[in-house]
Chains A and B, each alone.
Chain A
């Protein structure tokens, strides 16, 4: 699956959560696919760092 398909799938599953489409400025396609793999269906929580502009911290729940 391509990144956009994974993003759409996630948005349908978690319509009230922030979309991983907002990771696009920080990660390339391969890295985002890897994040989806690590999430393994869980919610992806991400937050932009205030110490380093453009850095994103990822966690799963």
Chain B
């Protein structure tokens, strides 16, 4: 265990008082005078670098600048969407005179997309800013810190947040329409207007409403989006035990405080805790523990309109030769837009893998997972089960018990193939435990729609055209699975890995063609409901590990599977909420 070091903003007295009773110090140094001397030496060493390493004001200014830019961009986009939809409603109203016939104008999937865009775009900007200030100083940063990797994390949190809110946001828009239009209908001046003037007035009113509502949704979500992004980025760059975090409040009269408000963020300003600890936030009812400002687990009075932020600060012994005096002044230049797919396979070093493992501890991570699978991918899917999955080692033929509680795995190389098998069987555990798809029932509308769409694309019936499509498919699938040319094309992967990617592609297509093309499972199995379960498992492989062979040779299907994943996540959440 390392000797204690001062925390950011910890006074000299506070540090010495803590240091001399530290277990490590007490064990190593027999007398109090020795302990005091050692503690003072620790203090001196730290004090020099502390002032150079971190400047709260600069951090906050830099953070706020990026957040302002990102918020403005999102407000513009959301306001434009709202205005367009309201415009459609206005046309409908003027045509029918009805004030409550606006079903389908503010679709829940569109609102969910708004949530996704807010979290991904704001998250990526803040993440890049944080990285740009730290990455050049640390050797811990690795190739995993890609846009796609983080986009996946941010998309995931947006779905969790959105699942509980999109319906009410959509309903709120319908209510707004109803309220405003009814009010105008009762207004004699409005009644006497001709259609063109009425349309102009309505557009003007709803333009203002759109902007106000866009600002409100962005303001509500941006604190969590930005602080979650900071936390996730810091965790990827540094070991958790090497970091502390500081709560930073806005510093103006608007910051909530007791007794005026239900919680006190003014006294939180400057509070520092170790990164793995929670902040103790004073409230009227006592103390509430929060991971960071915007922590979704906190009470609404701690969240709504909160503008506070969190700074994750690596200890100086975790950042050798670091000088971050310029923190906050790094400019990002043009921020690239987010790609749709975040399933990336990155060849990382073992050290990098360890960093990721340590930083992402899921309580649902199965015992012994490390023996079967690599950990350098987004493992957030581990949380999608209710009961921890047990791994049972078998000599051959990996499988998943139909109760979804046990997966049987073969110890293979912990490469793409071994990890792919793990993700595949774990995905089966997810749909079985949640009962979204079981051998007896399928509750997933998204899966049924997906299968219907692709069955049509691959051709139903018994026509010569359909048979020709299937023959072509079969040849293509055998080519991508077995041909050396394809293996050479994907030179970053072993031949076995490319083969596994081809088999997964062929297996998916087998399920979508009623087993008339493709291969991987028995025909009778794939024609039955089991085919849908296999698609589910391949969706998760593509999403969390990626399959470049599949993506290259069947890009449209691949992209559609990634979209299906997002819909499945929402359905899984709905099952948990009891709404399915």
Contacts and interface: CB of A to CB of B under 8 A. Distances in A.
A55 interface: yes
Contacts of B533: 53
Q: Which residue, A19, A29, A51, has most C-beta atoms of chain B within 10 A? A: A51
A54 interface: yes
A interface, size bucket: 20 to 34
Given A46-B522, A55-B397, A25 B507 contact: yes
B439 A22 contact: no
B475 to A, nearest CB: 13
B428 A54 contact: yes
B401 A51 contact: yes
Interface stretch (B50-58, B130-138, B157-165, B523-531): B523-531
Contacts of A24: 481, 503, 506, 519-520
B408 A52 contact: yes
Interface in B497-522: 503, 506-507, 519-522
Interface in A2-41: 4, 18-19, 21-22, 24-29, 31
Nearest to A49: B399
Contacts of A25: 503, 507, 520-521
B508 to A, nearest CB: 11
Nearest to B395: A31
A53 B503 CA distance: 17
B397 A19 contact: no
A48 interface: yes
Interface in B380-415: 396-402, 408, 412
A47 interface: yes
Contacts of B522: 18, 22, 46-48, 56
Contacts of A47: 522, 524-525
Contacts of B432: 53
A52 B402 contact: yes
A50 B399 contact: no
Interface size class of B (residues with CB under 8 A): 20 to 34
B482 interface: yes
B388 to A, nearest CB: 19
A24 to B, nearest CB: 5
B507 to A, nearest CB: 5
Contact of A27 (B396, B439, B481, B519): B396
A40 B522 CA distance: 21
Contacts of A4: 478, 482
Contact of B400 (A21, A27, A54): A54
A48 to B, nearest CB: 4
B393 to A, nearest CB: 14
A22 B520 contact: yes
B425 interface: yes
A47 B507 CA distance: 16
Contact of B398 (A18, A19, A54): A54
B519 A53 contact: no
Given A4-B482, A25-B503, A54 B524 contact: no
A24 B424 CA distance: 14
A31 B394 CA distance: 14
B400 A31 contact: no
Contacts of A49: 399
Contacts of A54: 397-400, 424-425, 428, 521
B69 to A, nearest CB: 48
Contacts of B524: 47-48
Contacts of B506: 24
Interface of A: 4, 18-19, 21-22, 24-29, 31, 46-56
22 contacts: A18-B522, A18-B523, A22-B522, A22-B523, A24-B481, A24-B519, A24-B520, A25-B507, A26-B398, A26-B399, A28-B412, A29-B496, A48-B525, A48-B530, A50-B439, A50-B530, A51-B402, A52-B399, A53-B425, A53-B533, A54-B424, A55-B408
Given A19-B519, A31-B397, 7 more contacts: A4-B478, A21-B519, A46-B522, A50-B402, A52-B400, A53-B533, A55-B408
CB-based closest 3 A-B pairs: A48-B525, A25-B520, A55-B399
Interface of B: 396-402, 408, 412, 424-425, 428, 432, 439, 478, 481-482, 496, 503, 506-507, 519-525, 530, 533
